[in-house]
Structure 1
Amino acid sequence: MLIGAHVSTSGGLTKAVDRGVDLGADAIQIFNQSPRMWKPTAYREEDCAAFSAAMAGSRLGAVVIHAVYLINAASDDPEIRAKSLASLIQSLTVGAAIGAAGVILHAGSAKTGDVAAAIARAGEVIAEALAQSPDCPLHLENTAGAGGTLGRSFEELAALLEASGGSPRLGLCLDSCHLLASGYDIRTVDGLTDVLDRCAATVGLDRLGSLHLNDSTAPLGSNRDRHAAPGAGELGVDGLAVFLSEPRFSGLAVILETGSAEGAVAPADVDLARELQRRGATARRQ
């Protein structure tokens, strides 16, 4: 498991590597452009080459890209659909250029419409994006389930994968906060084991590509996406220790998105995650 954090690319791609190293991280997550704007950042070949060289010379073992929040692959608005498709293709293109382990995507929302129809629309956009982009994995993120967001259950994630054509490039990003908020109690070893068994039966654990490590201010089954700093929410240090000790997560990048420094991840948060991983692993052996 590669303990990492979301970092800024302000000042250039290589600055993200520096920030990850300063945090003591083993992996980083970045946005390939402003997360709340459609306009893509124009990275040159030399920018991507410099980033790859910086990664190779650092302690970092993986980078993942988070696609922009504006994307709604399920939208029935032709303009939003077109912009979502173009943005996703851009993210996958940058991901391939920098050797990313994957692009993480919130597939979209049905809003108040029919969920099955929204999943079908999202699948079409995702399939088109994969067909029109270089070979970079795409990780569909599970959601807390608020506002008609798609992916609140393993069944919905499986339906999205099927609607997208089931490409081997498709995987999952499991977010600990979203799992709890959508009703999956992962705070005990038995609970997490049961949840992952359900994931294996419904989607397949071979699809697991990355993880988000977020605590939750909202309770189990609330369907509210409210991150808390590690250990400060409903999962708490014990629940996070369980999550981090899961042997089936071995080798995956696990990204802290919210930290204790006014919401930003600090070195102390990365250190805490590592300590909780050790604590959880020890508890499993006893």
Structure 2
Amino acid sequence: MLIGAHVSQAGGLPNAIERGVEKGCTAIQIFNQSPRMWRPTQYSEDDFAAFRDAMAGSPIRAVMIHAVYLINCASEDPEIRTKSLASLTQSLRVGDAIGASVVLHPGSALRGHVGEAIARAGGVFREALAESESSALLLEDTAGAGGTLGRSFEELRELIDAAGGGERLGVCLDSCHLLASGYDVRTIDGLSETLDRFDAAVGLGRLGGLHLNDSVNALGTNRDRHANLGEGELGETGCMAFLSEPRFENLPVVLETPGPDKRGTSAEEIVYAKRLRRRGLRLRKKAAV
């Protein structure tokens, strides 16, 4: 398992690698532009080469790009869909250049029929993939008010199918979102059952990345508020289960926690996550005897 955090690339893409190393990461997640602006950051081939060189000389082995929050590929507004397509395509092209996958919130059906919103989103996903080369597009499971797409595994499957079902389409599972959406992942058995359901609906072969966040809100509340590890409704037990799950073994797991100073995941929390993983693995081994 590759454990890491969301880090800033301010000042240049290679700085993200440096910040990840400082935190003790083996995986990182970045924004390829300001997460609350449509205007893309313009990178040169030299920027991409510098990032690849920095990564090659570091312990970082996986990179995810989080697409900007403004994107709503399911919108009924053609202008929003056009802007969403341009932004998503740009993220995928940056992913092509630096060897990263792209994580995306699938979108929202603000009004109207959910099935039609899924079809609109799928069309945008398909076009963005066609305009890029290799970067995987990972749809993130979500938690939120009615109309938010991707709150169930079945809906994620529908979105993938609407986008053509190609090999580059996958899923990023977020522990906080799972709990808030009603999937009880607070124990080893609960997480195992949830993954069985995911496998049946989507397929474990589609799982390309993970977000580990504790949850401020309780099971099934559909409220997405991240807490630091062990300080929320998942608690240490749920975080240990997530970090020691055998079917997650070769995946990047990125923390997006507030951090002790509300400035993001700290190096100490990465150490804590690794300690929780070791404890979880020992518990699983003891239970198997």
TM-score by length of 2: 0.97
Distance (Å, rounded) in 2 between the aligned partners of 1:242 and 1:11: 37
For 1:130 and 1:262, locate their aligned partners in 2 and report how far apart those are by CA, in whole Å.
Answer: 35
Residue 149 of structure 1, CA deviation: 1.1
After superposition, give the CA deviation of every residue in 1:88-115 in whole Å (9 maximum; x if it has no partner): 0000000000111x10000100123211
Q: Tell me the equivalent position of 1:271.
A: 271
How far residue 216 of structure 1 moved from its aligned partner, in angstroms, is: 0.5
Distance between the aligned counterparts of 2:163 and 2:81, measured in 1? 15
Map Cα deviations across residues 152-188 of structure 1 (whole Å, 9 max, x no partner). 0000000000001001000100000000000000011
In the other structure, the counterpart of 2:11 is 11
Asked whether the 8 Å contact 1:146–1:225 carries over to 2, the reply is no
Equivalent residue, structure 2, for 1:236: 235
- 1:65 maps to which residue? 65
How many residue pairs get aligned? The number is 285
What secondary structure does 1:268 align onto?
helix
| Aligned residue type for 1:218 | N
Q: Specify the alignment match of 1:187 in structure 2.
A: 186
Residue 30 of structure 1 corresponds to which residue in structure 2? 30
2:50 — aligned with what? 50
Larger deviation: 256-265 or 242-251?
A: 256-265
Structure 2 residue aligned with 1:81: 81
d(CA) in 1 for partners of 2:119, 2:144: 18
CA displacement 1:219-262 (0-9 Å, x = unmatched): 00000001111111100111100111100001111000112231
**Whole-angstrom CA distance in 1 between matches of 2:235 and 2:223:** 17
Letter aligned with residue 153 of structure 1: S
Matches within 5 A, 1:72-151: 72-100=72-100, 102-151=101-150
Counterpart Cα distance in 1 of 2:2 and 2:262: 24
Once structures 1 and 2 are overlaid, which stretch shifts more, 248-257 or 145-154? Answer: 145-154
The one-letter amino acid paired with 2:201 is T
CA distance in 1, matches of 2:147, 2:231: 27
CA contact (8 A) 1:145 1:151 kept: no
Deviation, structure 1 residue 134? 1.7
Cα drift, residue 146 of structure 1: 2.2
Alignment RMSD (CA, Å)? 0.8
Task: Measure how far apart 1:147 and its partner are.
Answer: 4.4
TM-score by length of 1: 0.98
Partner SS state of residue 88, structure 2 = helix
CA displacement, residues 26-82 of structure 1 (integer Å, 9 cap, x when unaligned): 110000000000000000000000000000000111111000000000001010000
CA distance in 1, matches of 2:105, 2:198: 18
Q: Secondary structure at the match of 2:161?
A: helix
The CA distance in 2 between the partners of 1:191 and 1:134, in whole Å, is 37
- Structure-2 separation of matches of 1:264 and 1:132: 33
Find the aligned partners of 2:46 and 2:282 in 1 and give their Cα distance: 45
**Conservation of the 8 A alpha-carbon contact between 1:122 and 1:160:** yes
Tell me the alpha carbon deviations over residues 168-225 of structure 1, each in whole angstroms, 9 at most, x when there is no partner: 0001000000000000000111111110000001100000000000110000000000
* Whole-angstrom distance in 2 between the partners of 1:51 and 1:261: 28
Deviation of the 1:263 alpha carbon:
4.3
DSSP 3-state at the match of 2:9:
coil
Deviation >2 Å, runs of 4+: none
Deviations, residues 108-128 of structure 1 (Å, cap 9, x unaligned): 001232111111110000001
SS at match of 2:200: helix
Q: Is the 8 A contact 1:14 1:54 kept in 2?
A: yes
SS of equivalent residue, structure 1 residue 146: coil
- 3-state secondary structure, aligned to 2:173: strand
Whether the 8 Å contact between 1:230 and 1:260 is mirrored in structure 2 is no
Identity %: 65
- For 1:139 and 1:166, the matched residues in 2 are separated by 12
Counterpart AA for 1:98 = I
